[in-house]
A and B are shown apart, each in its own frame.
Chain A
């Protein structure tokens, strides 16, 4: 058969020579290899102190965004829930009452907004589907927890803090 690459090497089946059977040269060779590894760069990243950079397209935990005046952008249209392949998002819509104009941008808003992080596959389709630029995936890795319940993120967990109110 014709060789596909030049990388194959014939296995050497000759009986061992005296120097090979004495085993000492090969031990010295092995020792020199391990000795060399002492001075090599360590592969370890000491995690909490030192973090590896994420790729620019990394998709982590979701946030619900606000507009420039600190009003919630989400209008509970349900497109994100529709786009979600894992069916992780549920929401309940409510109508904005008079006097709440500084809280919600439009007449309809999400009274409840939940993402089940155990179902979520972090595909980012919700981000793509949103017509109001309300939901984004951040670079935060989902933290671990002890109960299943704690993985259902409520609106309070998702909504970014209102910086306008504080300032």
Chain B
């Protein structure tokens, strides 16, 4: 009967949260393009954009404006509807994933508990996977509708790459999910509370280093970023699937990539680096008011995300692109077996340590108890 609890305040609260997250991710993606150019420049002993505003900070605005004013060309032989649908889908799927991410702890505001998460669905990570695999449709449709050999080739590459790496990604996550025992991202984050508990790190990175490693490589491949940027390799397929695109439709494709980068950095931080948790958070929580603490939590998450984005860029400007056969070999013959082994070992360890449950599992039982109490209280109210 939870559905009946929806009231106007909740709708307003969620609407504000959604627009803030949407604008935030667009803004971060915008400045990620700027940061990418800066990072590239710094690594190549250059200065990077520095003409538009201080440190070139208005550069993304200028780029966006330029893309809007460019002539919009739709090829005669293209499938018009699908051609337009392609970038829309890419953008849609890029922004949709942020819905299930917990951006901070619950806040007490105006006498009600506001959750800094748009939707705490209990299959959060599955939702993420579903949307991410939808993302390949944007590329596929765009490449197909362009009616261009190179675009088609590149979109086929993109699709097969995405499919191959999603497998390893999923398997590497199964190991993690066996440890957390929950698919809800909120639960996963709360299990990583603080930094140190019962003589070991709470963050999943320290419990699943190999899983993290595989997940990271697959994330690179899913994002079509270097060294896995075969779908849009400039040198062979001249821009690949978005070759026929111009104006803001091209901009959407490029922009969707940066939004994806932001979101996947957030997912990686959430799954493996404790999300909004940070060391000594209990002491901070005791010392400062709730709103400030929530802000600190969001800040901690954003710091992790920014570090992750910088790492993505760092890798892009270091490694050369894989050859296509190398890419497939890495995906199918290295990562999937590795992920399977990781899954098996994790499963075995969990099986043999079942007798004395881990702190994380203790917590879940506590949660179940609190949930039970909540339900009882609710029932009492109804009756």
Contacts and interface: CB of A to CB of B under 8 A. Distances in A.
B45 A37 contact: yes
B308 to A, nearest CB: 15
Contacts of A27: 318-319
Interface of A: 27, 30-31, 33-35, 37-38, 40-44, 46
Contacts of B42: 37-38
B46 interface: yes
A34 B47 contact: no
Interface string B316-347: 01110000000000000000000000000000
B238 interface: no
Nearest to A30: B318
Looking at chain B, what size class is its interface with the partner chain?
10 to 19
Nearest to A44: B47
Given A31-B314, A34-B314, A46-B50, A41 B319 contact: no
Contacts of A42: 45-47
A106 B45 CA distance: 57
A41 B45 contact: yes
B16 interface: no
Interface of B: 42-47, 50, 314-315, 317-319
The 10 closest A-B pairs by CB, nearest first: A44-B47, A34-B318, A30-B318, A34-B43, A43-B45, A37-B43, A44-B46, A40-B45, A38-B42, A31-B318
A33 B318 contact: yes
Given A37-B42, A38-B42, A30 B319 contact: yes
B47 A37 contact: no
B212 to A, nearest CB: 14
B215 to A, nearest CB: 16
B314 A37 contact: no
Nearest to B317: A34
A41 B47 CA distance: 10
21 contacts: A27-B318, A27-B319, A30-B318, A30-B319, A31-B314, A31-B315, A31-B318, A33-B318, A34-B314, A34-B317, A34-B318, A37-B42, A37-B43, A37-B44, A37-B45, A41-B45, A42-B47, A43-B45, A44-B46, A46-B47, A46-B50
